[in-house]
Every structure is written in structure tokens, then in C-alpha cells.
Amino acid sequence: MPVPTWIFDLDDTLHQASLGIFAHISRMMNLYMERHLDMSEEEARQLRLHYWHRYGATLQGLMRHHDVDAGHFLQETHVLDELYRWLQWEPTLRATLRNLPGRKIVLSNGPQHYIEGLLLKMDVRHQFAACYGMEKMRFRPKPDRRGFRYMLQAERLDPARCIMVEDSLPNLYAAKSLGMRTVWISRQCRKPAFVDVRVNALSQLLRKCWSALPQQH
């Protein structure tokens, strides 16, 4: 098999966002809406839920309906010094990435400074050739295929040579439909047909991927 390019999600893939970071970002987004859009806590919570279902992200709804400045919102809701407190990752992360042959790229719906900051804190930034966040996806977050395509074009990548590593099934479905191979980080036993390989944890990537991924020519 030719050496692949690995496309990694960030949250709940390279670190355990659900253990604290997500909850903190959520609190910061609610506070932002209370402060800058003059909403009650309950209104903010309801509206975020609505935008999440309709657009896949709070920011999309705020840009479209409230004229919110995306840069301001992303900076205020992702304050790195606060988030570092909650950051948790596998102790084997560095070694796992180092032992995987091929280029590595991060594709995350988080803002650019957040991705770069977390990777630096985990001491793995140098292992990635590039990072694509919300801004570099031109505010077309996954699973919108346009976001994926901006990255593929900018990096001159053939999707058939790419392996997307993710915890989110809709994002993996989009990656597969573009021609990528897919690795799902999940403890669930059953995997859908568009997932090529499922792993419990990143540390299993090398062992499970090499033999199980379909060959592409």
C-alpha cells in the first residue's frame, strides 16, 4: 500500500474533549450570547440547540442571524489558558503519531488558534504538516463537504490516499463519500459500512489499520 496521508479530527480524537473541554466551551458560548446578544441563560441554551440542529454549529447561526463577528466569537469562547486546565490526552499520543508512516494533517471544526494551542500543549504540533480549522475551512465545518474540499485542494491531496480518523459518524460518512478511507474512534461494537476500521483508542491505529484497510490503487 502506498504511504497514506492521515487526516485527524481533534476533539475526542487526539484528546478527550468530552471529559471537560466541551462543557467549558459550551459555558463560554452561552455567556457570550448572554453578554453580547442580551439573552437570558435559557434563551441562549435554546437558541444554541436550534442552531446546532439546523447548521451543525452555533457560530453558523450567530453569523447568519445576529451578525456576530466570527473572529471575536471564536477568541472569546476558546480562551486557551482556561481550556488547558481541562485538556486530557493519551500518554502514548506522541509515540503513536511518530510511528505512523505518512503525512499527518488536522481537520477540525475548532478555531485555528485552539487547534494550534492544544497541539503545542500536547507537544505534538511538529508531527502535523498542516492544521485546518474553522477559518481555513472558510466556515464550512464538517460534515459539509466544501470544508473537506478546501483542505484537499490546498494540500493537493488525492482523497483515495487519505485516511480520515474521527469519532463522529456524519463526518466519516462525508469523508467516505469523497473517496477517503475511514477510521472510527469508538468503543461501540457495531460499525456502519462506510467505516473501514474501528479502534477503541488511537494507540491501536498502527496495529489495526495496516492489515484491515482496503487497498486503493
Residues that bind Mg ion (CB under 5 A): 9, 11-12, 167
Looking at the Cβ atoms of 36 and 113, the one nearer to Mg ion is 113
Looking at the Cβ atoms of 39 and 56, the one nearer to Mg ion is 56
3-class SS of residue 95? helix
In the complex, least distance from residue 19 CB atom to Mg ion, rounded to whole angstroms: 13
How far apart (Å, rounded) are the C-alpha atoms in residues 140 and 147? 5
Looking at the Cβ atoms of 39 and 124, the one nearer to Mg ion is 124
At which residue does the C-alpha cell 471544526 appear? 109
State the Cα angle at 11 between 124 and 54, rounded to 5°. 150
Number of other CB atoms surrounding residue 206 within 10 Å? 15
In the complex, least distance from residue 167 CB atom to Mg ion, rounded to whole angstroms: 4
Grid cell listed for 53: 440542529
Strands 181-185 and 5-8: unpaired
In the complex, least distance from residue 49 CB atom to Mg ion, rounded to whole angstroms: 19
How far apart (Å, rounded) are the C-alpha atoms in residues 118 and 98? 17
Number of other CB atoms surrounding residue 187 within 10 Å? 8
Q: Dihedrals φ, ψ of 91, to 5°?
A: -60, -20
In the complex, least distance from residue 87 CB atom to Mg ion, rounded to whole angstroms: 14
Looking at the Cβ atoms of 11 and 196, the one nearer to Mg ion is 11
Looking at the Cβ atoms of 106 and 209, the one nearer to Mg ion is 106
In the complex, least distance from residue 128 CB atom to Mg ion, rounded to whole angstroms: 16
